[in-house]
Amino acid sequence: MKTNNWLDKKEYPFQTKSINIDGFIMNYTDEGEGDNLLFVHGTPSWSFGYRNVIKKLSSKYRCIAPDHLGFGLSEKPENIDYTPQGHAKRLKDFIKELKLKSFHIVVHDFGGPIGLSCAIDMPEKINSITILNTWLWPLNDYTHFAKPSKIIKTVFGKFLYLNLNFSAKVLVKKGFYNKKNLTKIIHRHYIKPQNKQARKAAYEFALSLLGESDWYAKLWENKNKIQGIPTKILWGMKDELLPADLLLEKWREGFPAASVIEIKDCGHFIQEEKPDSVAQAIKEQ
């Protein structure tokens, strides 16, 4: 079995487990006992990003955090469906394999549409929803996303992602408001899993930001299936990747009963910069 010498067991002290999904190995953490709490990550993240939240909650909850195929410690096959729909299908299979009868769900970034797609398909299983800097509707009408999406589809954009590891090296750094929170050791845990074979998954996510708008539209149309579930929305207000002034009001309109917590001095990776706030919000659900 491959040894990940870059993995700091003090930062990420969990014993990972593995499960076969679609013929490939998906790794996940499974810490603590109590009500099931499912964490769903985005790009180019993995369960590592939730580590400090899990440490704070595993005394009360069973904390389950899978790594999507192509990310983290999971297998990184070359030819599978890396669209958010593909990840959502595999997450549903994962939930079935673990026989989770009910759970709280926490979603971030691309984990939003992926995880909430599962919630929409099985609302009877969902105890509560915690939303961290994400979206659930088409983003095509936002000029903020138009230019980068055009670049991503060029030869140069593909080169940036597949050859230079742009997502892990540049976008992760941009996603932190307080750069002191992104130490070299922490950043290494985002860069190292994104080896050359793995970068296809992150690149497909980048293409999917605007490329899967019909699917996002269907999710938003079906949001009524989960509107009655207790929901909290935590937003890092200094997020340059998914800015609050573009997206947060849409969440307020779509989920008027949700509790919204604005965190002023925080960027995109709220679970990294403010794990105490995330953990406290989940405890109070």
- Checking DSSP bridges between strand 24-31 and strand 17-21, what pairing results, if any? antiparallel
Q: What are phi and psi of 118, to 5 degrees?
A: -65, -40
In terms of Cα–Cα distance, which of 116, 113, 144 is closest to 213?
Answer: 113
Quick check: is 3 in a domain? no
Quick check: is 130 in a domain? yes
Quick check: is 7 in a domain? no
Strand partners, 17: 28
- Checking DSSP bridges between strand 259-263 and strand 231-236, what pairing results, if any? parallel
Quick check: is 1 in a domain? no
In terms of Cα–Cα distance, which of 217, 232, 209 is closest to 284?
Answer: 232
pLDDT in tens, the chain (285 residues): 456 899 999 999 999 999 999 999 999 999 999 999 999 999 999 999 999 999 999 999 999 999 999 999 999 999 999 999 999 999 999 999 999 999 999 999 999 999 999 999 999 999 999 999 999 999 999 999 999 999 999 999 999 999 999 999 999 999 999 999 999 999 999 999 998 888 999 999 999 999 999 999 999 999 999 999 999 999 999 999 999 999 999 999 999 999 999 999 999 999 999 999 999 999 998
Q: Counting every residue, how long is the chain?
A: 285
Quick check: is 64 in a domain? yes
CA distance 232 to 13: 28
pTM of the model: 0.97
**Other C-beta atoms within 10 Å of 9: how many?**
8
Quick check: is 8 in a domain? no
Quote the number of domains for the chain. 1
Provide the H-helix boundaries in 98-154. 111-121, 143-152
DSSP per position, 202-216 = HHHHHHHHHHTHHHH
Quick check: is 126 in a domain? yes
The angle that helices 199-211 and 155-164 make with each other, rounded to 10 degrees, is 140
Q: Which CATH number covers residue 220?
A: 3.40.50.1820
CA distance 92 to 96: 6
Check the CA dihedral 146-244-192-62 and report its sign: negative
Range of the domain at 59: 17-283
CA distance 202 to 206: 6
Quick check: is 5 in a domain? no
